[in-house]
Structure 1
Amino acid sequence: MRLSLGANNNIQELRNFAEWLLNIGDGLAGATTNGESIIHIPSDILVKNSETALDDLIDFVYPDMLSNLSIENYFKDRAILAPTLDCVIDINNKMTAELPGQERVYLCSDSVCAEEEKIEFELDAFSPEILNGINCLGLPPHKLVVKVGAPVILLWNID
């Protein structure tokens, strides 16, 4: 993570914030009870309205997104860290919906190449509903929604 010094920030304030983030990441912030920590979040960075929290977060991290789409480093210099893949999907879908243009939907293959002797078990164990519902690290989502001009990160697994 990289923090940059804005117009109104002082260096010591930025160092304190970076140290606070590192302490949270290392599990050193807050009082730990039964493996859980209670962390005080400063009110100036706290999202207060839970009904529009996702919209507020996206607007904070990506201000004026539509007018900055053509700027080369606009998306590269910003990121929203999410605790689960479900949160990532929600954020991606919300941001894609905000972009202009027609959506294109791509679905993954959801059939099983079963061996003849085990075909009954494999067809029950790996039904299309189960395969389409898998959401884990290392596998692409079943349904990918993209638009022309949307940033896409392509990864290549060389393992």
Structure 2
Amino acid sequence: MRVQLQNDRSAAAFSKQLLDIGEGKIPIDDTGLITLQNNFCTLLQSKEELIESVFPNIVQHYQQKLPGEATTYTSIDSVLNQDVVVNYPTEFLNSLDPSGLPPHRLVLKVGSPIILLRNLKPPTLCNGTRLSVKTLFPNLIEATILNGKAASEVVLLPRIPMIPTDMPFEFKRLQFPVRLAFAMTINKSQGQTFRVCGVNLEEPCFSHGQLLEYNYVIMVHLKDAAISIMKLHD
């Protein structure tokens, strides 16, 4: 779609490379891995290079290496079933870090990039909305929306109760529904638009066919993207 609508020659070449992978035209070595062409992406050799590529001049640009005092927000965790409360002490609940939930100790600074974990006010504040912290209050976070139609809009984020669905027991966490977003998972990045994207693949993470699927998503949604990859496995 991007090739047809934007007449992007580089995207056309990228599309062909993806099709070659999907059709099994890329040679596979004895370990079952493939080696991509150098023009498929920018290959880097260390995590430090990756950080510098995504956040250039990180020392000079304070937006990435934030000054000032950090504010820590601790959650209030409780078990919903009172019959099993004695089995799950508060300290244990505080130590849990389920997927899709904010941490018990949320440490933020003004300028921190954060990502919303719940739908608060669609379509302005939805799960996956990226924001930048503007002001930190004891019971509110003032932030500026970074993506979507409401970009640049200033909003207030409250603490809300959240209940994970993938736990063997039900517990509730009262916390701001955000996480730091200097980095995010591939699933969270789908549908986002970035000027630069760095992908850390130190460990194999793709099942059969997923490299083609996720790189297509990246190709469609990135704008002027430079993809930096340390090690690529399929």
- TM-score by length of structure 1 reads 0.47
> In proportion to residue count, which structure has more helix?
1
